[in-house]
Structure 1
Amino acid sequence: MINCSAASLPEKLHTVGIKWFHIAVDDFQIPDELREKEWNSMMPILKRTVLGGGGVLFNCMGGCGRSGMFLMRLLLEMGWNSEGALERLREFRPCAIETEQQKSWAFK
């Protein structure tokens, strides 16, 4: 039996060669200054991974607001235009980016 509780997830992923990054952001919120610095340090790694043909998984409790916000920011950093990126994101996840505050953070 494998314990897949959230607490054991980083360790389990590491054992199969998957990198785990965590940014604590409250539901419906945006990153504070410290969390934004964490994001800025991770972003080049994520961008390199995607551009190199690798996969990146974003998740939060509902898979909408915070996940969508971070994914949108990555798409924009990779050169997507804001309208095209949001439209594409919502094709797969209509609830992506739940608040205007999250949208503003993603677009900056």
Structure 2
Amino acid sequence: MTHAGRLTSADSPIKVFWVADAAHGTPGRLGLTFAPGKRAHGSDEGVYWDRDLGQDMRRLREVHGADLLVSLLEDFEYEDLGIPDLFTVAEACGVRTEHFPIQDARVPRAGQEGEVDGLIATVRSALAAGETVVIHCMGGHGRTGTVAALTLTSYGLSAEEAIRYVRVAQPKALENELQTGYVAGAERRWASAGTWARW
């Protein structure tokens, strides 16, 4: 349904869409959200996101308990969305950050497999320590859903199972076949190499 008007941090507090704990079996929590503080036209006609970064970040920390924020935006998107100081504000609010830029509606580039494994290892370590990890891109759907599903796949779920868990949390997650196919490819690569069996 289309909602016209401005969406502010006060009138529409930032939400986190939580993946079921059973999906990863750790003492931590894994959630998906949109870009905190973003100021931009929404995908629905007549919607304008006019948010406050500090207010969103404080809510992520104080209400949702975020310990680690995984940010998947490309560098230019922080400027475009009016949040060039996202990392500074997050740190001031007590939220650690991990930056892994992915092009909108796409997946990590060919040759980035080692970097992807490093990102997933960071998320897994935080979850194992009982921390709350929140992943975001611009809308919290495509790139965010992809990384969330990759995380679940690393725990031994099939790509299909992982994607299903993520979509139960956020029905709009993983926006295209490129993204779902990437998760399936990672599942095969990790199974062949025994990547996470050593953890």
TM-score (norm 1): 0.83
> Residue 52 of structure 1: which of 129, 132, 155 is its match?
129
Structure of larger gyration radius: 2
Secondary structure at 1:58 match in 2: strand
Cα deviation for residue 44 of structure 1 reads 1.2
Q: Percent of counterpart pairs with the same letter? A: 25
- Mapped to 2, the partners of 1:102 and 1:22 lie a distance apart of 19
CA distance in 1, matches of 2:126, 2:138: 24
The alpha-carbon deviation at position 11 of structure 1 amounts to: 1.0
User: Alignment length, in residue pairs?
Assistant: 106
Q: Contact 2:141–2:175 (CA<8 Å) still a contact in 1?
A: yes
Superposition deviation, residue 82 in structure 1:
2.5
Q: Which runs of 5+ in 2 are unaligned?
A: 1-51, 54-81, 187-199
CA distance in 1, matches of 2:182, 2:172: 16
The structure whose residues are more often strand, as a share, is 2
CA contact (8 A) 1:10 1:20 kept: yes
RMSD of aligned Cα (Å): 1.9
TM-score with structure 2 setting the length: 0.48
TM superposition shift of 1:33: 3.6
Instruction: Structure 1 unaligned segments of length 5 or more: list them.
Output: none
Distance 1:106 1:96, change over 3 A: same
Moved more, 46-55 or 77-86: 77-86
